[in-house]
Structure 1
Amino acid sequence: MTGEPRRGGVSGRAFRLFWLGETTSLFGNGIAVVALPLVAVLTLHADTLVVGLLTSVAYLPWLLLGLPAGAWVDRLPRRPVMLACNAVSFVAFASVPAAAWAGVLTVPHLLLAAFAGGCANVFFTTAQRAYLPTLLSDEELLAGNARLQGSESTAEVTGPGLAGVLVQAFGAVAGLLANALSFVVSWLCLRAIRTAEPPPPAVARRRLRAEVGDGLRFLFRDPVLRTLALFSAVSNTALTGMSSIEVAFLVRTVGTGEAVVGAVLTLCGLGGILGVLISPRVSRRLGTARAALLCQVAAAPFTLLFPLTGPGAGLAFFVVGGVGAGAGVVAASILTDTFRQRYCPPELIGRISASAAVISFGAIAVGGLLGGALGSTAGVRETLWMMSGLQVLSTAILLCSPIRRMRDFPESPRAISADAAEKVMS
C-alpha cells in the first residue's frame, strides 16, 4: 500500500487534516443555520411556513437519494466523492449572496440552494462515515468521533454568534458566503490527505435495488440498530419541528433582535460541548448502552422549557432547555455513532449508514415541514409545546427496547467474513 500509513491515530497528519476540514465546514454550517432563515425573514420577508420549508428541503434529499447513495458509496472510493460534494455545496451557497447583490434573489432560489446543498450532504455524510475507519482503528474511533462531535458542538456555540455579527455588519447573505467558503477549506484539506484508501471490496456487482436491500435487511433485522433508527426518526421529527421555527419564534414571538438571537443560540450550543466532555466519562462508568439511554432520557424533559420562553429574563428558559437537551443528545450520538462504525461489516457500512440516515434525516425533512405548517396554523408557541411533548414520548422507544437491559452495546469485528454477513442477512 502506498501513501501515508494510518498509524498515528487521532494525532496523525491524515486525521488532523480531515478534522481541520470538517471543523471549518461545521463552522460554516453553524453560521448558515442562523443565516439561512434570517435571509428568508429579513431579506425576503418570508412567512413561518417558508422558514420551516428551508429545513425540510435541505433534508428532503435523504428521502430521495439516501438509499441509492449508500450503495454507490460502497462501490466508489470515498474521498473523491467527498471532494465532489464540497464543490457542489460551494456553488449552491455562493449563488445566494451573488443573486442577492445582483438584486434577483427569490424564495425559490433560496429553497433550491438549500436543496442542492442537501443533495451534496447526502453523499458527503454517507462517504464520510465510511471513510473515517480508513484513518482510524476500531480503538481510536470513539476518540475520533468525540473530536468531530466536539468541533460540531463548538461550531454550534460560535456559529450563531458569528452569524449575528455578520448579519448586522454586512447583511443577512454574508453568512451564506462564509458558509460557501468553508467548503473550499474542507476541499483543500481532503485533497492534502495522503493516506491510501483501500479499494472497495471485490464483490460481485448486482442490481442497485438488491444492494440497497442488503443494507436495509441488516438494519431492520438487528434489534439494536432497528431501535436506534426508530428512535431517531421520532426524536428528529420533534427536535427539527422545534429548531426549524426557533429563529422565527425568537424574532417574531419573543421580540428579540438578530444579535440577541445569535447570543441565545450560542449559549444553547454550550450543551453540545458539555455532551462531548461527559460522553467518555459516563460510558466508562455506566457502559456505552446504558450511558446512551440515560443521556437521551435525561435530555428530553429539557425541551419542555422552550415554549416557556419570554422576553428579557424569560430567555433563560430557552438557554437552559438548549443546554440540557444538547448535552444529552450529543453525548448519546457519540456513543451510538461509534457503535455503528465498529459493529457494521465494512462491505455494508455505507449501505447500513445510509439506510439509518434515510430514516433519521428523512424525519428531519418531515419535522421541518411539520414545524413550519403547524407554526403557521396553530401558532409558533403552541407548536413548540407539541414538539417538546413528542420528544419526551419518544424516549419510550428506548425504554421498551433490548437496549434497556444492556450495559454495553454489542461489538463484533468489523472485518467479518462474507459467510457471516450472509447469515445475518438471510
Structure 2
Amino acid sequence: MSQPVELEAALTPHRSLWRDGNFLTMWSGQALSQFGAQITELALPVLAVLLLQATEFDVGLLGAAGTAAFLLVGLPAGAWIDRLRKRHVMIVADVIRAVALAALPLLWWAGLLQIWHMVLVALVMGVATVFFDVSYQSVVPSLVPADHIAEANGKLESTAQLAGIAGPAAGGWLIGVITAPFAVLVTAVTYLLSAGALLRTRDSELVAARHDHDPLVASIREGLRWVFGNVHLRRIVGTTGVSNFFSTITFTLLPIFLLRTLGLSPAQMGVIFAVGAVGGFVGALVTPRILRRLGEARTIPASAIVFSLIALLLPAAVAVPAIAFPLLLVQSFLGTFSVLLYNITQVTFRQRITPPRLLGRMNASIRFCVWGVMPIAALLAGALGTWLGVPTTMWIAAAGALASALFVVTGPFWRMRELPTPGD
C-alpha cells in the first residue's frame, strides 16, 4: 500500500527535520501543550499550598495520585498501546486531560473546590498521562527515519525546556492576574490544541491484526524480558528508578520547602523553574557535541554523576539563607542540564535498539519500574515531612540520590565509546 506523499518525504533519508512538515506539525502541538503543562506545574502547588492550605500529607497524597497510574496500569498500558495506533492514543489522552483540568476552575468558581477534588483530577490526569507518555516515547520512529531519531528527540526536548523557561514566568503572571485556578484553564486549551495538531499528523505505523495479538500476560512478559534481558537497559532502569524515587520525595515537598521553609514567593519559585528549564534547553542543544566528545556510552554515567551530586545543593540552601535563592538557581540549572543530557542519550538508545512491535511494551515496562516508584515516594515524602520535618526529609532524599548513579557508573559503559546498535 502506497504512503501519502507527505509521509514519503518525511521518511526520505537525510532530509532535515526543519523541512519535514509532518514532524513540524506534531512538534508545534507538543510545544503548546508543554508550555501549558509548565503553567499548571506552578499553578497547582500554589492552589494547594496557599489557597487550600494543604498539609505535608495532603501534598504527598496529591503527588501520589498524579503518578499512581504508572504503578497500577503501567504494564498493561504498554501491551494495549502496541495493539493501537499510538498517535490516536495521544489524541484521546490530550482530550481527557483537558476536560479533567477544566473541572478545577469550575469547582473553584462555584466555591466547592477541596483537596480531594484535586486528588481525583490528578488520578484521571495520571491515567491519561500514562497512555500519552508511553505512546509519545514510542511514536517517534514512525514519524522520522532511523538516522533522525536522535535529532527528533533533541528537538522535542529542546522545546520542552523552552516551554519550561516561558511557562513558569507566564504562569506567575497569570496567577497574579486571573488567580491560580483559572490559570489552569490555559493548560486545558493547550492540550486541545495539541490534539488538533496530532489529528493533522501522519505516521507510518502498522498495527498487527487482532488475530496476531498475543495474550495480554504473554505480551507484558515479553516486554519485561526484553528490557531486563539487556544489560545496558537493565542498568539504565536501575539508575533512573532510584533517581526518580528520591527526586520524587524532593519535588513532592518542594513547594512547601520553597514557599514556607525558605519563605520565597511564587514568582521566585517560577524563576527557579525557569532557570532549570534554561539548563535543560542548553543541555538539549549541546548533547550532540558532548556525545561526539565523550561517546554515547560514557555520556550516560558521566551525566548521572553530575545530577546525583548536584542534588545536595537543594537542602543545603537552608544552611545559607542569605544566598539560598542564587544557590537554588545554580542547582536548578546544572541539575536539569545533566538530566536532559542523560535522558536524550538513553531514550535514543532505547528507541534505536528495540524492535518496532515492542516499542510500547519496552517504554511501558521501563515506565512501570522508574515511574511506578513515584507514588510510593510521594506518600513517603508526606509521612517523613510530617514526622521529621521538611528540611530533614530533603537531606534524606539528596543522600539517597547519590546512590542512583552506581548502576551505570559500575556497569560496562566506561569500557566502550558507543552503545550497541540493532545489528549488534
- Asked if 1:201 is matched to 2:202, the reply is no
TM-score between both structures, scaled by the size of structure 2: 0.94
- Aligned residues of 1:21 and 1:189 also touching (Cα < 8 A): yes
- Aligned residues of 1:70 and 1:212 also touching (Cα < 8 A): yes
The corresponding residue for 1:2 is 3
- Asked if 1:82 is matched to 2:90, the reply is yes
Q: Matched residues, percent identical?
A: 32
Shift of 1:373: 2.1
The corresponding residue for 1:163 is 171
- Asked if 1:327 is matched to 2:327, the reply is no
Trace 1:4-83 onto structure 2 (pairs within 5 A).
Answer: 4-5=6-7, 6-7=10-11, 8=15, 10-11=17-18, 12-83=20-91
- Cα deviation digits, residues 44-81 of structure 1 (max 9, x gap): 11112212222221111011111111111111111211
- Asked if 1:405 is matched to 2:415, the reply is yes
Q: Unmatched 5+ residue regions in structure 2?
A: none
RMSD: 1.6
Trace 1:275-354 onto structure 2 (pairs within 5 A).
Answer: 275-310=283-318, 311-354=321-364
Trace 1:123-138 onto structure 2 (pairs within 5 A).
Answer: 123-138=131-146
Q: Bigger shift: 236-245 or 330-339? A: 236-245
- Aligned residues of 2:42 and 2:168 also touching (Cα < 8 A): yes
Amino acid across the alignment from 2:65: V
Aligned residue-pair number: 413
- Asked if 1:387 is matched to 2:388, the reply is no
Shift of 1:370: 2.2
Shift of 1:9: 5.1
- Match of 1:171, SS state, is helix
- Aligned residues of 2:272 and 2:332 also touching (Cα < 8 A): no
1:149 aligned to 157, 160, 163, which one? 157
Q: Unmatched 5+ residue regions in structure 1?
A: 417-426
Distance 1:373 1:162, change over 3 A: farther
Distance 1:213 1:323, change over 3 A: same
The corresponding residue for 2:187 is 179
Distance 1:229 1:208, change over 3 A: same
Trace 1:353-372 onto structure 2 (pairs within 5 A).
Answer: 353-372=363-382
- Aligned residues of 1:288 and 1:408 also touching (Cα < 8 A): yes
- Cα deviation digits, residues 141-180 of structure 1 (max 9, x gap): 1110001111111222222222221112211112311111
- Aligned residues of 2:141 and 2:149 also touching (Cα < 8 A): yes
CA distance in 2: counterparts of 1:369 and 1:325, whole angstroms: 24
Amino acid across the alignment from 1:67: L
TM-score between both structures, scaled by the size of structure 1: 0.93
- Aligned residues of 1:34 and 1:247 also touching (Cα < 8 A): no
The corresponding residue for 2:113 is 105
Amino acid across the alignment from 2:111: G
Q: Bigger shift: 366-375 or 347-356? A: 366-375
Shift of 1:312: 5.0
